[in-house]
Amino acid sequence: MWRMCLESVLLLTLCNVIFEVMPEQKSGQKLQQKLLADRKELFSSLRRSIRSASVLRAMERVPREAFVPTGERHNSYLDLPLTIGEGQTISQPYIVALITEALCLQLADRVLEVGAGSGYQAAVLAELVPDGNVVAVELVRSLAQRARDTLDYKNIVVEDASESLGCSWRGPYDAIVVSAAAPTLSPTLTAQLAVGGRMVVPVGDRDKQELVCVLRTGEGISLRMLGPCRFVPLIGREAFPAS
């Protein structure tokens, strides 16, 4: 009798487990279907405005959902910036593509990203410089560690940011991405560009900026405007105060 009772209890428990798992599986399947549909629509849209096929292929190889918090995962492939905690965001995919395209990266380029955040932009950069390297610096220690834990690239190193902008001791760089808004062009960052190097930086106030592409030549620098944008503020010397 006790064996029959035990078998009944086990069978009931198993049924409960199955019924609990099935909704989770259906929910997971729905999420995957949404991500696939959104991803297809996103890249279809990007192809209408971004000319560089190599940039788009690089972005297609990077799973954006891996770089956003669980609560935002269902929005991973919407063309929107998303919060990643600590008052920071992961940039809108179009802006990531526009910035990356403007850098005109070569396979062996040395690249610096100021403001690594989730690590997503660094991953896209690393895809485009397999024979080069990416140095990503981040001021918020928890985000820097999360980026290290998420990134799976041998050609990326994530450094904790210091008071001085950039990472001069690993430079000079062929390209620099500033993933936060600066009040002016930083001489410190410009000095870390190699001759012929390119830098893309949002310049303006805390509410709105212009995306600026800087080219360093033997004679100085030239500027090209890429359009309006809005980033979280860059904090530090030659940037905004922490308050």
CB neighbours of 45 closer than 8 A, spacing ≥ 6? Answer: 79, 94
139 and 110 share one domain: yes
Give tens-digit pLDDT for 21-51: 556 667 778 889 999 999 999 999 999 999 9
d(CA 208, CA 50): 23
106 and 195 share one domain: yes
Residue 184 counted as domain residue? yes
Q: Is the pTM of this model over 0.85?
A: yes
93 and 187 share one domain: yes
82 and 1 share one domain: no
Q: Is 91 a catalytic residue?
A: yes
184 and 69 share one domain: yes
Q: Given 29, 48, 67, which residue is the final one in a domain?
A: 48
Label residue 24 exposed, middle or buried (CB < 10 Å: 0-12, 13-18, 19+).
exposed
State the residue for tokens 């991500």.
35
Give tens-digit pLDDT for 103-124: 999 999 999 999 999 999 999 9
For residue 186, what are the domain limits?
A: 53-229
84 and 149 share one domain: yes
27 and 78 share one domain: no
- Confidence tier at 19 by pLDDT (50, 70, 90): low
Label residue 159 exposed, middle or buried (CB < 10 Å: 0-12, 13-18, 19+).
middle
Residue 187 counted as domain residue? yes
Residue 240 counted as domain residue? no
35 and 63 share one domain: no
CB neighbours of 126 closer than 8 A, spacing ≥ 6? Answer: 134, 151, 153, 155, 156
| Active-site option among 76, 91, 118, 186 | 91
Helix (H) or strand (E) holding 225: strand 221-229
What is the mean predicted confidence (pLDDT) over 139-150? 96
